[in-house]
Amino acid sequence: MRTQVGIVGAGPAGLLLSHLLHLRGIESIVLEARSRHYVENRIRAGVLEFGTEQLLNESGLGERMRREGLLHPGVVMRFNGADHRVDFADLVGKHVMVYSQHKVVQDLIAARLGAGGQIVFQAEDVSVHDFQAARPHIYYRQGDAVQQIDCDIIAGCDGFHGVCRASIPLGMLRIFEREYPFGWLGILAGTPPSTEENVYVSHERGFALLAMRSPTLSRLYLQCAPDEDLAQWSDDRIWSELQIRAARDDFRLAEGPILQRGITPMRSFVIEPMQCGRLYLAGDAAHIVPPTGAKGLNLAAADVAVLTQAIVAFYRLGSSDRLDAYSATCLRRIWKAQRFSWWMTTLLHRFFDHSPFEQQMQAAELDYVFGSRAASLALAENYVGLPLPV
């Protein structure tokens, strides 16, 4: 088989890239290790930045999002039982869109297949070759048959545990990494959200987040140990811990059936550069942020917006200048999103090894954000998303 761009991974990055390329007349094949059912039902992110929402709308993917998405003009920080609302609309004239990642993935798959696009689900043993030469190719297996795809460009959109980053010789990459001494225990609950906007809670027992997926589904998180044993968390324990951390006068969190639960480790990770020869990494394959800033999916979308422009220039102008600049173009914005995600994480979580001085610094910073329009504006500007680098 032959195509112009071979894409590994049918997450948001790979699917959106394939869609954006198709809109500009460029062919691609997407290879995905999992089944369609699996990727369409994987519950992950929930917050789309203003620019991501615009990108989806402008590329014809916004129909269901406009119907089912929840527009949030602000976000709430809760500390010592008091709320501080960061009003995005007032501070920066923008909002965020609450719309599940798995719906974005469903919409993208429907758009690609509807346009005759090729997505190979359950592709096994995917491997990428000769990307340091002009004729890269990809092998994969389906059943007993090994297939080869010849292409001009490979896009590694296969997430943090994928094969593409691991195929680049280690000596060519610089890795920047930070692990956090906690994780998130997340639940999806079949109960209407108790708040109108997402509420980030700083509490002496640890961070909590009250988020949502729809008018009937709540998404709630608790800071926990990085190696927390989910079996130790009965439904009663989860709800009572959420009630304690989210407490405020006149507020009670609505409880309901827990439909899904899981533990997410927290990590900051960046590789530089995000490319090697004709292999370009995008999304979680190249960087991970702790989820506190709600940036992961949005960074994936920004990467593929930049990569699309560069690939279009490659075919239309015969110039690889923009492809050569891909990593540097993306990384300036990625590092700012990394900084914001690290800052939100550090601001709101309980570090049980902090000295009394460090605890006072954290409390003072929260107090400052609560009391300062300038600090709230900086938070708002970053939360709704910095301008796309295109």
Among 40, 29, 23, residue whose Cα is nearest residue 4? 29
Q: Is 315 an active-site residue?
A: no
The answer to the question of residue 290 lying near ligand RFL (CB under 6 A) is: no
Report d(CA 180, CA 265) in Å as an integer.
8
Of 220 and 331, the one with the shorter C-beta distance to ligand PHB is 220
* The two three-digit tokens of residue 154, written as one number: 């490979």
The answer to the question of residue 46 lying near ligand RFL (CB under 6 A) is: yes
- Phi-psi category of 58—alpha, beta or left, where left has phi over 0 and alpha has psi -120 to 50? alpha
Contact (CB, 8 A) for 186 and 261: yes
Report d(CA 122, CA 142) in Å as an integer.
7
Which does residue 214 bind out of ligand PHB, ligand RFL, none, counting CB within 5 to 8 angstroms by kind?
none
Which does residue 163 bind out of ligand RFL, ligand PHB, none, counting CB within 5 to 8 angstroms by kind?
ligand RFL
Q: Is 99 an active-site residue?
A: no
* The two three-digit tokens of residue 76, written as one number: 């709430």
User: With CB under 6 A as the contact rule, which of the stretches 5-13, 147-155, 320-328, 366-374 interacts with ligand RFL?
Assistant: 5-13
Site for ligand RFL in 54-83 (CB under 6 A): none
Q: What angle do CA 253, 254, 255 make, to 5 degrees?
A: 110
Q: Is 94 an active-site residue?
A: no
The answer to the question of residue 47 lying near ligand PHB (CB under 6 A) is: yes
Letters for 294-333 (x = contact with ligand PHB by CB under 6 A, - = none) are x---------------------------------------
Among 238, 237, 204, residue whose Cα is nearest residue 221? 238
The answer to the question of residue 283 lying near ligand RFL (CB under 6 A) is: yes
Rg, C-alpha atoms of the chain: 21
Contacts of 364 (CB under 8 A, 6+ apart): none
Q: Is 69 helix (H, G, I), strand (E, B) or coil?
A: coil
The answer to the question of residue 46 lying near ligand PHB (CB under 6 A) is: yes
Taking CB atoms, the residue at the shortest distance from ligand PHB is 46
- Are β-strands 5-8 and 153-156 bridged in parallel, bridged antiparallel, or unpaired? parallel
The answer to the question of residue 70 lying near ligand PHB (CB under 6 A) is: no
Letters for 185-224 (x = contact with ligand PHB by CB under 6 A, - = none) are -------------x----------x-x-------x-----
Contact (CB, 8 A) for 236 and 243: no
Contacts of 347 (CB under 8 A, 6+ apart): 202, 362, 365, 366, 369
Q: Is 257 an active-site residue?
A: no
Which does residue 10 bind out of ligand PHB, ligand RFL, none, counting CB within 5 to 8 angstroms by kind?
ligand RFL
Phi, psi of 189 (to 5 degrees): -120, 140
Task: Please state the closest distance from residue 323 (CB atom) to ligand RFL, in A.
Answer: 19
The answer to the question of residue 104 lying near ligand RFL (CB under 6 A) is: no
Of 206 and 291, the one with the shorter C-beta distance to ligand PHB is 291
* Count of CB atoms situated within 10 Å of the CB of 237: 11
Task: Please state the closest distance from residue 11 (CB atom) to ligand RFL, in A.
Answer: 2
Q: What angle do CA 22, 325, 319 make, to 5 degrees?
A: 60
Task: Please state the closest distance from residue 184 (CB atom) to ligand PHB, in A.
Answer: 8
Contact (CB, 8 A) for 194 and 251: yes
Residues carrying an active site annotation = 72, 200, 291, 295, 383
Residues that bind ligand RFL (CB under 6 A): 8-14, 31-34, 39, 44-47, 101, 123, 126, 157-159, 162-163, 186, 264, 283-284, 291, 294-298, 300
Return residues touching ligand PHB (CB under 6 A). 45-47, 198, 209, 211, 219, 291-292, 294
